[in-house]
Amino acid sequence: MLKGLVLENFKCFNEIKLSFSTLNILTGLNGMGKSTVLQSILLLGQSRNSILLQQGLSLKGKYVNLGVGQDILFEKAERDEIGIGVWTEDTEERYLFEYQPETDVLPLKSMDKKENKSPYSAWEDSLYYLSAYRIEPLLLYHIENEKEVSQRYFAKNGEFSIQYLKLHGGDEVANNSVLIGNKKTIADQVKEWMDLISPGVSPVITINTSSRTAELKYEYIEGREKTNSYKSINVGFGITYVLPVVVTLISAKPGDIILLENPEAHIHPRGQRMLGELLAAAAAGGVQVLLETHSDHVMNGIRVAAKKGRLEPKDTRFFYFYKDTDDDYRHKTVCPMLDEHGRLSEWPKGFFDEWDNALLDLL
């Protein structure tokens, strides 16, 4: 599990240090640094081999493409170097990279890596990422090498989660905390949670190995009856958009690190709240989640889970990112604390307060 992160001269941050828990909720107005935090972790994840070979930080890779050096150096940097550091239970890693404005690989300037335990598993091997640009309804989806998919490589847009669900839906869920009811397979639990997010919906997947494609349809459970199967293009956009998120969380194993961007997109508020409860359930079983969200419904689902005793408050951390107008507009963060009643210790200005602001205008 990632315990913390340090950034220097990286994008909007002059310097920032964050301490993580199991479930981490990154919030704030657009452009305040939420995505930057996730991107810094993903950069290290996709650059592990090049860093080990003393080559540097790969700005273009399997997770993200951030351009060239001039695109990521802090605008008011006083030194031409960029620092990223992470620490886990096993290691402390601190890297400085040389700033070169026109290249997409920044040379490694110095590396300080301490091993607290031996042997250890590299945290990058447990890293999974779903971007905000997830799969959309299509007639057919490309399928990947089965070996890659069996290792739960879904790609950053989640396109191979459909193939995984078909091939490994019969596998038992590794994280008992996400289980609903008595059935323990991945496919059954995906159906259970999808039903909570969008009542009655159930995915139906067909794979054609000769054409290397997968077809995604949905049927609906209406009482004791099933409807016909409908192609994904004829069903609500949000159902397909959220399916990779549900598959990723249900199939996750304790110790996994999942980075998610805006899982609530295109989902009704009720479904968003259920997503919050699923996120809490995954975290309660030892899956670390770093979540970027603009949804108070997702947040409330997490708060409800804490109140119901399904998630320890200490395993949850909220980060609200903002610009400090009194300190040269530096990007900073404040961390409201969650208690066992689902209450937060503070509500900074701009932290999910637009509902109240709108009500005041309506009075």
- Given the structure tokens 């069903």, which residue do they identify? 235
Average pLDDT taken over every residue of the chain: 93
For 356, counting Cβ atoms within 10 Å of its Cβ (0-12 exposed, 13-18 middle, 19+ buried), the class is exposed
Count Cβ atoms below 10 Å from residue 71 Cβ, excluding itself.
12
- Stronger pLDDT, 184 or 115, i.e. the higher one: 184
CB-based contact 26:292 (threshold 8 Å): yes
pLDDT exceeds cutoff 50 at 120: no
What is the average per-residue pLDDT within 21-46?
Answer: 96
Give 309-322 pLDDT, tens digit per residue.
999 999 999 999 99
pLDDT exceeds cutoff 50 at 277: yes
pLDDT exceeds cutoff 60 at 184: yes
- Where are the chain's structural domains? 1-120+294-363, 133-254
Confidence at residue 355, expressed as pLDDT on a 0 to 100 scale: 84
Tokens describing residue 265: 């997109």
